[in-house]
Amino acid sequence: MKALWIKMIVVGMTLGTAWAVRGQFGHEQGAAWAGAIGALGLVLVAKRADWWKRISLVALAAAIGWGAGGIISYGRVVGYGRSDDLFNAFYGLLMLFVIGGLFGLLGGGLTGLSLESSKEKKVNWAVLLVEMVVGGLLFYGFLIMQLGITMTPPRSEAWAFILGAGLAMVWHMARKGFTSSLRVAVYTMLGAGFGFASGNFLQILGNVLNIPFNMWNVMEYNIGFWGGMGLTYGVFTSAWPDVSDERPKKWETTSALLLILVFVPAVIFKESLTVSKLAKNFDSYSVSKSIPVLSSLLALAGMLVVAFINFLNHRSHKSIAGNREAFVLFVSYFALYIFISFVATGLFAGKVLSNHVLYLVNIVLILFLIRFSSNRVESDHSEIKTMNILRVWPYCLLALILIVFLLSFISVSIHGELSGAHNRFTI
């Protein structure tokens, strides 16, 4: 259990830190990069050579799963959680639980499928993705367009699409017998859901106590931390096939690396790190016009260097196949995400934010714990069967909802009207 807890904390801190960095960039591309980092950390602490070979594929699956949730609008829901009315506050925190859960459901589910796919039981990714898209469209059309069930009016109701896609994925897992992946999806869903709801509570608490820190970032860290904890628990208490004799095709690994090392960074560069974007960010800093240019060029250089290093590893070893290569991919990709966050907030304009310094502290602790953690944790198959028979997750869900209600009650008891608060319903 001690070894399992260390691994859970490592992945929780990894995804938490990456998700906090994601707050600087937002949207699907930011979530995709953070999700990929979390999956890389998971594979590293697993210490399974057969997973090292497919680490880029696992990272890509996680990037797609976590990134898809980036289409959900939740700014208004955060405002509901800040209400001084218990019903509206509980609604806000509960809906954040749902939104965080949808992030975790897809992120954990696709990560699990990338680990469970084998020659004997291979995931048909094309069929799965078609089913998820169709499920998303059907649910959006039925819930939003037909029934008019809305969560965040007048904002986007894309949560309904992600809900339909997630349920289609669950249905596919159940039909095809991907029980371990389904288990990972459920526990990641519970962790990320709780993380988002409790993170909003911590944000409110920090604002009430006038803590001089970026409390929005605390909320972002929380969803990643608890989502990573749930993901790791689900993975290390489930049975997985031994795929030591399987090796991803070269084109598969190359394509995965292109998407996570080139495509995702390119989108973030276009949206957040061009000279015009940085110049706008630095308007209030009163700096030379050369600073945005320098910042943009160094961000681009960092992206190119990380891509070059990892593609060189890929070419030298035909795939990312060993612990050293996997470690280089994790560290370089994680460090680059933190570096460009520093750049986007004005590192070369002389601005360093306190929460960014904590990113560095986190990555140092994560690297120490990865080296300190013990070897591979073996799953206890008898425990897995017992857990599945007892179906403990609904009880976990109920307990977490009760905790969210308690947090809502405490929240409205400690503050009056807060800036940014909204009421979804008039009581």
pLDDT tens for 160-172 read 999 999 999 999 9
Please give the pLDDT value at position 371: 80
Please name which of 184, 250, 193, 182 lies closest in space to residue 46, comparing C-alpha atoms: 184
Q: What percent of the chain has pLDDT over 90?
A: 78
The Cα 208–Cα 201 span in angstroms is 11
Please give the pLDDT value at position 426: 87
Which one has a higher pLDDT value, 377 or 98? 98
pLDDT band at 315 (very low <50, low <70, confident <90, very high): confident
Which one has a higher pLDDT value, 324 or 126? 126
Mean pLDDT for 18-26 is 92
Q: Tens digit of pLDDT for each residue in 326-369?
A: 999 999 999 999 999 999 999 998 899 989 999 999 999 999 99
Please give the pLDDT value at position 324: 85
Neighbouring C-beta atoms of residue 370, cutoff 10 Å:
20
pTM: 0.93
Please give the pLDDT value at position 382: 38
Mean pLDDT for 254-274 is 96
Residue 293, helix vs strand vs coil? helix
The Cα 183–Cα 179 span in angstroms is 6
Buried b or exposed e, range 377-410, using 16+ CB within 10 angstroms:
beeeeeebeeeeeeeebeeebeebbebbbebbee
Mean pLDDT for 206-217 is 92
Please give the pLDDT value at position 104: 97
pLDDT band at 383 (very low <50, low <70, confident <90, very high): very low
Please name which of 97, 42, 34, 94 lies closest in space to residue 66, comparing C-alpha atoms: 34
Q: What is the 3-state secondary structure (H, E, C) of 340-378?
A: HHHHHCCHHHCCCCHHHHHHHHHHHHHHHHHHHCCCCCC
Please name which of 63, 60, 72, 78 lies closest in space to residue 27, comparing C-alpha atoms: 72
Please give the pLDDT value at position 384: 47
pLDDT for residue 71 is more than 90? yes
CB 83 within 8 A of CB 92: yes
The Cα 359–Cα 352 span in angstroms is 12
* Average pLDDT of the chain, as a whole number: 91
pLDDT band at 376 (very low <50, low <70, confident <90, very high): low
- Amino acid present at 34: A
pLDDT band at 381 (very low <50, low <70, confident <90, very high): very low
CB 58 within 8 A of CB 51: yes
Mean pLDDT for 237-259 is 91
pLDDT for residue 248 is more than 70? yes
pLDDT for residue 19 is more than 50? yes
Backbone angles phi, psi at 419, to 5 degrees: -65, 140
Please name which of 50, 23, 31, 33 lies closest in space to residue 323, comparing C-alpha atoms: 50
pLDDT band at 231 (very low <50, low <70, confident <90, very high): very high
Sign of the torsion formed by the C-alpha atoms of 306, 328, 324 and 35: negative
DSSP string spanning 224-272? Answer: HHHHHHHHHHHHHTS-----TT----HHHHHHHHHIIIIIHHHHHIIII
Q: Tens digit of pLDDT for each residue in 87-139?
A: 999 999 999 999 999 999 999 999 999 999 999 999 999 999 999 999 999 99
DSSP-based helix, strand, coil % in the chain, nearest 5: 75, 0, 25
Please give the pLDDT value at position 102: 97
Backbone angles phi, psi at 20, to 5 degrees: -65, -40
Cis preceding-peptide flag for 154 (omega within 30 of 0): yes
Q: What percent of the chain has pLDDT over 70?
A: 94
pLDDT band at 375 (very low <50, low <70, confident <90, very high): low
For residue 143, give every residue at least 6 positions away whose Cβ sits within 8 Å of its Cβ, in sequence order, or none: 149, 157, 160, 163
CB 81 within 8 A of CB 201: yes
